[in-house]
């Protein structure tokens, strides 16, 4: 999955995230899908608590590990070597090599965003 103007660099398909709390699962994100092609910019917008950060943390595999967090769906990343990797099903070792080299996240700093 080489990145070209017509092919997505990132294809997120039906991402759902839930958190276990006191034996119940609380849905935080339900069936979010989007694609980003080379050169595109995408903004996730919504009210506070609507799941923007949780969606991004799930794609980057930075949410608490299972069984506390349940993440479903696919996030296919077009890597520099031409392969496509599903970030949701990638191993921890694979994610260590992907983060920073293939994909990165700029974290929100609450005091500077005001």
Asked if residue 48 is part of any domain, the answer here is yes
pTM: 0.84
- Percent of the chain scored above 70 by pLDDT? 89
Which region holds residue 41: left if phi is over 0, alpha if psi is between -120 and 50, else beta? beta
* Residues 24-40 pLDDT 10s: 999 999 999 999 999 89
Compute the distance between CA of residue 82 and CA of residue 26 in angstroms, rounded to an integer.
Answer: 37
Asked if residue 112 is part of any domain, the answer here is no
Asked if residue 93 is part of any domain, the answer here is yes
Asked if residue 103 is part of any domain, the answer here is no
pLDDT of residue 113: 52
Among 13, 17, 11, 41, residue whose Cα is nearest residue 29: 17
* CATH code for position 51: 3.40.50.300
Average pLDDT of the residues of the chain: 89
Domains in the chain, number: 1
Query: Which domain, by its residues, includes 29?
Result: 8-98
* 61: confidence class by pLDDT, cuts 50, 70, 90: very high
**Residues whose CB falls within 8 Å of the CB of residue 95, separated by 6 or more in sequence, listed in order:** 61, 87
């Amino acid at each position: 999955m080489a990145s070209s103007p017509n092919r997505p660099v990132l294809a997120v398909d039906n991402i759902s995230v839930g958190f276990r709390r006191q034996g119940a699962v609380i849905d935080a994100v339900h069936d979010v899908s989007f694609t980003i092609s080379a050169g595109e910019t995408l903004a996730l917008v919504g009210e506070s608590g609507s799941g923007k950060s949780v969606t991004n943390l799930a794609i980057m595999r930075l949410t608490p590990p299972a069984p506390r967090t349940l993440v479903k769906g696919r996030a296919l990343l077009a890597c520099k070597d031409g392969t496509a990797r599903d970030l949701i099903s990638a191993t921890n070792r694979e994610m260590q090599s992907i983060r920073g080299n293939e994909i990165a996240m700029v974290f929100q700093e609450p005091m500077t965003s005001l």
